[in-house]
Amino acid sequence: MVQLEGFRVLGKENLVYKLTKSLYGLKQAPRKWYLKIEYFMNRKGYKKCVMDQCCYTKDLCSFYIILLLYDDISVVGSNMDEINKLKAQLSQEFEMNDLGVA
């Protein structure tokens, strides 16, 4: 990467940049996205499955919800109102499309 015009510092032309946020297309971008959604799921009370790091569960007395996170997100559960609530929360936090029933 070449230093941009106007941002060159004499004597420091060969130093590298430290990115303060990930850029789309970089190797670090998926990791940053995963950490963001993991933080979101933890805030909403979901627990990460020990056997599968891409599976989040929420188990309450009267219902359960399971979210699977791979290339897409799949949500299953025993209470449709809670599933719709989770989908609404996800779409407020992330840009997403609801593809309907799998």
- Give 69's Cβ-side CA count (13 Å radius): 21
Apex CA 77: angle with CA 75 and CA 81, to 5°? Answer: 95
Reference 96, options 77, 79, 72; nearest CA is 72
* CA–CA gap between residue 15 and residue 69 (Å, rounded): 38
Residue type, 40: F
Q: What is the pLDDT of residue 27?
A: 64
In a structure prediction context, what are the per-residue pLDDT tens digits for the chain, which is 102 residues long?
A: 666 777 777 787 777 767 676 665 666 667 788 888 899 999 999 999 989 888 999 988 888 999 998 878 899 999 899 999 999 999 999 888 888 887
DSSP 47: E
Q: What is the pLDDT of residue 1?
A: 61
Q: What is the pLDDT of residue 12?
A: 78
Q: What is the pLDDT of residue 85?
A: 92
